[in-house]
Chains A and B, each alone.
Chain A
């Protein structure tokens, strides 16, 4: 995909996600790719980016040699400044302190609604997935929501089977009308492109493609009609430095392995 440097899809998503995290902000990071993106941001352009973990851990400095496997274990607490209860932690989010929330999902639709509960119908599920966890809370209350996912047709669907986490619901002002007056969907970052949402219709629109990816590639891997603007920019490829840091963070490529 790249000219000189080789990288996996997941590494690409991690790099692109890290770049949009601003310094001096607070990011609610799940274990795995979001955490790696946040640490990468700290080690590059955002040294004062603060990480918060779902279980209740504020501003920890996680050990690179002992990355947590889940967002809910003691490894997420290294050198934290406070360990609040789970309810208190989410209350900080509802109060407006959490600048960025990261989400993924089995299905994501054109309005940014996310399904992590059920494939098929609720009464006769084809696949019962683990469920919301904090995803529904993150999309309801974080200031800016970032969706990071592998770009494939079966994931980017026209309509999710089940709205675990409501994005812009049915577009227009339907999110606000549902009562969700805070937070907005900021970016969708995949291994092919960066997308955002149209201000009026709230439909997903293409913003930029990654190096070596064509607009057609993105369209062909999306299960709905993306808004394609006249001008689509191309992102700068991952740098040697970014990839070096990523590989130090994840030497066994547990989180940045090639997609299955």
Chain B
């Protein structure tokens, strides 16, 4: 059941001050507790907060409920990392051209994780209702489907019109983890390009961890306040991590590392879960820092992806 009153109390009791929140990846990730519901910003292989996801696995978080608009390769890593008991999303696999995730199949079919499936709009409405502090939002989506039978949504007759509607319950994640282009030290954040559901996720969550491509001054924020999409009072941690979504993309800064996705998909096809365990050793456990991790992809590849990423502005 949605406890929107408790969710509101958590926000009332939060420190609302405009204070500095800059910290390390490790410190920020410690805000996440075992058993928490962690919502991730971005979508599929765009805007994925990879630096924190990597650290969640390194810190061996357990029994997390994860939610996201669409889960991609990072979902595999969190599953094999042993972090997840429930995944709330609308689509779970690397990407259409990479086929169905063998890892997702293995974990869901063998009941090692619960996949709670909603339609894409419904997931976004769950965050939006959370962001608005209300218990639900009505929609036409999911009516007449079997999706409706397996989740907490309910049908209702509209008291104004008599129309049958589907009520999508709010979602209040314990922690939102969002990768953005820039924020000031207080957490006033700007996002370029695709907004995804990030602003709603930040408002719906009790705590927000931002990773940012770059920290800017509060002066710069005040010059263009209309560009702020997440205000400081929502935010609990600001971590500066250039390339913090890599090998996923960050709008206008770098494109996805498609070659890496192909390499990864080959590993999962050939070796399944064992292959991902080896992948975690190489990309998550062995590199001590995020810089060490990025080095594995190599400067050449990253620069090439950076040039491609800038092409949205041509």
Q: Point out residues on A near B: beta carbons under 8 Å.
A: 30-32, 54-57, 63, 66, 69-70, 72-75, 77-78, 83-87, 90, 93-94, 117, 122, 125-137, 140-141, 162-166, 169, 174-175, 178-182, 254
Is B165 a contact of A86 with CB atoms below 8 Å?
A: no
Measured CB to CB, the nearest residue on chain A to B256 is A73
- Give the residues in chain A near B255, CB-CB below 8 Å: 73-75
Is A69 a contact of B141 with CB atoms below 8 Å?
A: no
Residues 247-264 of chain B, each 1 if its beta carbon lies under 8 Å from chain A, else 0: 001011001101000000
Q: Residue B155 at the A interface, CB < 8 A? A: yes
**How big is the B interface, by class?**
35 or more
Is B124 a contact of A90 with CB atoms below 8 Å?
A: yes
Q: What number of A-B contacts does a CB cutoff of 8 Å give?
A: 189
Q: Residue B92 at the A interface, CB < 8 A? A: yes
Measured CB to CB, the nearest residue on chain B to A137 is B121
Is A132 a contact of B120 with CB atoms below 8 Å?
A: yes
Bound CA–CA A134/B142 (angstroms):
11
Selected from B105, B144, B155, B195, the residue in CB contact (under 8 A) with A56 is: B195
- Give the residues in chain B near A57, CB-CB below 8 Å: 194
The A interface, classified by DSSP as helix, strand, loop or mixed, is loop
Residue from A31, A56, A128, A182 with most neighbouring chain B CB atoms (10 Å): A128
Is B143 a contact of A179 with CB atoms below 8 Å?
A: yes
Is B165 a contact of A55 with CB atoms below 8 Å?
A: no
Q: Residue B95 at the A interface, CB < 8 A? A: yes
Measured CB to CB, the nearest residue on chain B to A126 is B109
Is B196 a contact of A94 with CB atoms below 8 Å?
A: no
Q: How far is the CB of A114 from chain B (nearest CB, A)?
A: 10
Is B195 a contact of A73 with CB atoms below 8 Å?
A: no
Q: Residue B115 at the A interface, CB < 8 A? A: yes
Is A136 a contact of B197 with CB atoms below 8 Å?
A: no
Is A131 a contact of B140 with CB atoms below 8 Å?
A: no
Beyond the given A85-B124, A136-B121, A166-B144, could you list 7 further A-B residue pairs with CB under 8 A, ordered by the A residue number? A69-B258, A72-B46, A74-B312, A87-B125, A93-B121, A130-B100, A141-B140
Bound CA–CA A83/B127 (angstroms):
19
Is A90 a contact of B105 with CB atoms below 8 Å?
A: no
- Give the residues in chain B near A30, CB-CB below 8 Å: 96
Residue pairs across A and B with Cβ atoms less than 8 A apart, 10 shown, are A55-B46, A66-B308, A69-B96, A74-B251, A127-B109, A137-B141, A178-B143, A179-B140, A179-B143, A180-B143
Given contacts A55-B46, A86-B69, A125-B108, contact A179 B165 (CB under 8 A): yes
Bound CA–CA A90/B308 (angstroms):
28
Q: How far is the CB of A260 from chain B (nearest CB, A)?
A: 11
Within B178-209, the residues touching A (CB, 8 Å) are: 193-197, 199-200
Stretch of B78-86, B145-153, B276-284 contacting A (4+ beta carbons < 8 Å): B145-153
Q: Residue B93 at the A interface, CB < 8 A? A: yes
Measured CB to CB, the nearest residue on chain A to B164 is A179
Given contacts A69-B258, A70-B95, contact A131 B195 (CB under 8 A): no
Selected from A85, A136, A179, the residue in CB contact (under 8 A) with B200 is: A85
Selected from B96, B119, B121, B311, the residue in CB contact (under 8 A) with A32 is: B96
